[in-house]
Structure 1
Amino acid sequence: MPNSSPALSLAQIDHFITDGFVRIDNAFSRELAEAGRAILWADTGCDPHDPSTWTKPVIRLNQYGQPPFRDAANTPVLRAAFDQLVGPDRWLPRGTLGTFPVRFPSPDDPGDAGWHIDVSFGLENPDFMAWRANVASRDRALLMLFLFSDVGDEDAPTRIRVGSHLDIARQLAPAGDAGLSLRELAANGFAETAHCLEVLATGPAGTVYLCHPFLVHAAQPHHGTTPRFMAQPPLTPAQPLSLNRPDGDYSPVEAAIRFALPTT
């Protein structure tokens, strides 16, 4: 059943289509963020009060389904936003929040700060560079960034190339259903999106960025003082996205791809 109260304005939906993302403040509570951080801190093996224990630039933690995470992923405002961006009954609720790349203040290169998109199928291949995406965004309806800590400009915020999802849609279109591998997409270092304005995914704990699955983004080193906790799960479609709906009932995710491909 559709959520009765819209979370996003028409202007925000237009922003999503043209720019590739929308920011939702207070998408989940600071209390949930704090409860989640307590669990994550314990699993890092680091002492939150002793920076001498923060010896790595990034520690990756995976698949947390405890109540703080499950509740954060399923707030009424987020469920309403999913309905608006993907379509009622076209997405699957999250039971976990995917991977947490916990980033620590460090002079060392984290080794994962290249521009990319999150590819979505062929994940059974042990070579992650062979994982794929196609123009209909098979198996991924949204990329989501859940901020579980306050994130300022120096706190390793995710870098976003505004409008880059349109370039990627045009790149993927000729490849059809088979799509392209991450290796093929990254062959030129995503130079076709270098013209895009770069913005940072900053905000207080409880902020969520809902991003088009083709949005080009990148990590960066942490130059601040407080570790950054962020989840980056996909929203999985309940049915395949379609760029040719007989009834014309396109979601904003689909409309953005069609906008990039005016002959579609």
Structure 2
Amino acid sequence: MPSPDQTALTPRQVQSFIDDGFIKIENAFSTELAKQCRDELWAEIGLSPGQPETWIHPVIRVASKASRPFVEAANTPLLHSAYDQLVGEGRWLAPRGLGTFPIRFPSKQLPGDDGWHVDVSFGAANSDFMEWRANVKSTGRALLMLFLFSDVGPDDAPTRIRKRSHLTIARELLPYGEAGATLRQLSADGYSSTEHCDVELATGAAGTVYLCHPFLVHAAQPHRSKQPRFMAQPPLLPKGEFDPTLPPSPVQMAIRQGCDLM
């Protein structure tokens, strides 16, 4: 945990975020907090870790949780320091909870939600989800975050990440300007422009957090192991609109790099 005069991330980690689109922070919150959160989620879905015969669905979703353990997990000093380094000090809102939670269970059924995608960030007033939007400024989203509340190995349905895909998406969003592109437009070709990207698996011990660029292409996958996977995938929300008078943050530097504006 960084002291007041230290930062969470090294310069190399910050550069890796710009280049690859994500960083992995181990021990971002405690295993005790992770267990408290798991216990609440078990209670929320009405299932038990000791009754695997009741795990009949490949995935169960919980929209959000705002009780003390979840708020504490999202707001550790280590994470606050990392938010400052990647988004800019004073440019993000402290999370008041976490969500959504796609809780994945061992199953021979396909989950049906494992396609490659980018998380869009505004336009939610439209009842058609495919018309929600993202723009090159990433209006409405400062980071995509993956919080691991259980140990996640290669067979525990870890999120798949296409490294450096955020650079391609930034370049593709540029012609759409501030209005942005809809999810329907972004996904029209199945994100084939990022098929060449190396794939990283978001594995780690409970308490690990992946901080990802908002434009990172990622996907779920089936669960092939024995224990359920508990994970949250919330956004970090920006405090305001993009301000060109401020020094560019690493999130913005990555966008400029992808658009050949560096």
**TM-score of the superposed pair, with normalisation by structure 1:** 0.96
Classify the secondary structure of the residue corresponding to 1:35.
helix
Considering only aligned residues, what root-mean-square deviation do their CA atoms show, in Å?
Answer: 1.0
Displacement of 1:263: 3.4
Displacement of 1:187: 0.2
Classify the secondary structure of the residue corresponding to 1:210.
strand
* Unpaired stretches in structure 1, ≥5 consecutive residues: none
Displacement of 1:43: 1.2
Residue matched to 1:260: 258
Displacement of 1:163: 0.2
1:202 is aligned with what amino acid? T
Residue matched to 1:251: 249
**TM-score of the superposed pair, with normalisation by structure 2:** 0.97
2:213 is aligned with what amino acid? H
Displacement of 1:240: 1.7
**Corresponding residue pairs, total:** 259
Classify the secondary structure of the residue corresponding to 2:174.
helix
Residue matched to 1:158: 159
Displacement of 1:5: 2.1
- Residues 104-123 of structure 1: matches in 2 within 5 Å? 104-123=105-124
CA distance in 2, matches of 1:207, 1:4: 23
Classify the secondary structure of the residue corresponding to 1:92.
coil
Residue matched to 2:7: 6
CA distance in 2, matches of 1:4, 1:177: 37
Displacement of 1:86: 0.3
CA distance in 1, matches of 2:242, 2:74: 21
CA distance in 1, matches of 2:259, 2:47: 48
Alpha-carbon displacement from aligned partner over 1:158-215 (angstroms, at most 9, x marks no partner): 0000000000000000000011011110000000000000010000000000000000
CA distance in 1, matches of 2:131, 2:67: 32
Displacement of 1:246: 4.1
CA distance in 2, matches of 1:33, 1:4: 27
CA distance in 1, matches of 2:96, 2:127: 25
CA distance in 2, matches of 1:241, 1:205: 34
Displacement of 1:218: 0.1
CA distance in 1, matches of 2:5, 2:107: 45
